[in-house]
Amino acid sequence: MSETLHKEPNELTEEVAVRRLAYSDLPAVISIERRSFPTPWSLAMFVLELSKPSGICLAAHAGDGLLGYVVCSRYDQVWHLMNIAVAPEHRGSGVAGQLLRRLIAESEGKLPFTLEVRVTNHRAIGMYEHFGFRSAGVRPRYYHDNGEDALIMWLD
C-alpha cells in the first residue's frame, strides 16, 4: 500500500522570512487587507504609516509571495500595534507569530505595546496572550462596521 502525504491548506512549503515592509509591497498588502477585514485600510493609510520614520512596518514572505504584515506606530512612550494580517490561506502556520517576535525584537523592549482587537477574535487574543499581552479593558462599539467592542491589550 502506498503512502500519500497530506499537506494542510495553510502549511508552508518554503521558508518564511521577515523584512521591512516596502512601498512595492502595497499591492499585495491591499489584497491581504481586503480579504482579512470587513473595513480594510485604504492605500493612503498604509502609505502614511510607512512614511513615519519612528514606526515599524514588517512583511513576512516566502519566495516572491507576501504572506502577511504588521504595522506598528510609536506614540511618545508606547508602541501601538495598528494592523496585523496574514493571508487567509496561510493563517495558522505561525506567520503572525514570526511577525510579532520580530516586531518585539526591533522595538528593543524599551517601551510597552498596546493594541485593540475585536472581542470575538479569540484566535488573535490567544496569540497575543501567548506573547504576554494582557487585557486592560474594553472600548465599547469601537468597530464602525458592526459596533463590536474592542478588547484593549498591553504588553509591558
Report which of 92, 93, 133 is spatially closest to residue 116, judged by C-alpha positions: 133
Q: What is the pTM for the complete model shown?
A: 0.88
Question: How confident is residue 12, by pLDDT bands cut at 50, 70 and 90?
Answer: low
In CATH terms, the superfamily for domain 16-107 is Gcn5-related N-acetyltransferase (GNAT) (3.40.630.30)
Query: Could you state, in order of their start, the residue ranges of all structural domains in the chain?
Result: 16-107, 112-156
**79, β-bridge pairs:** 74, 113
C-alpha cell at 94: 505561525
For 107, what's the count of Cα atoms within 13 Å in the CB-facing half-sphere?
A: 29
- Determine the average pLDDT of the residues in 86-109: 94
- Does residue 5 surpass a pLDDT of 50? no
Catalytic residue among 33, 49, 69, 128: 128
Percent of the chain surpassing pLDDT 70: 92
In whole angstroms, give the CA distance from residue 61 to residue 63.
6
The one-letter amino acid code at 14 reads E
Tell me what pLDDT residue 7 has.
36
Catalytic residue among 33, 75, 116, 148: 116
Asked if 116 is an active-site residue, the reply is: yes
In whole angstroms, give the CA distance from residue 1 to residue 45.
55
Asked if 128 is an active-site residue, the reply is: yes
Tell me what pLDDT residue 8 has.
44
- Does residue 14 surpass a pLDDT of 90? no
- Determine the average pLDDT of the residues in 113-141: 96
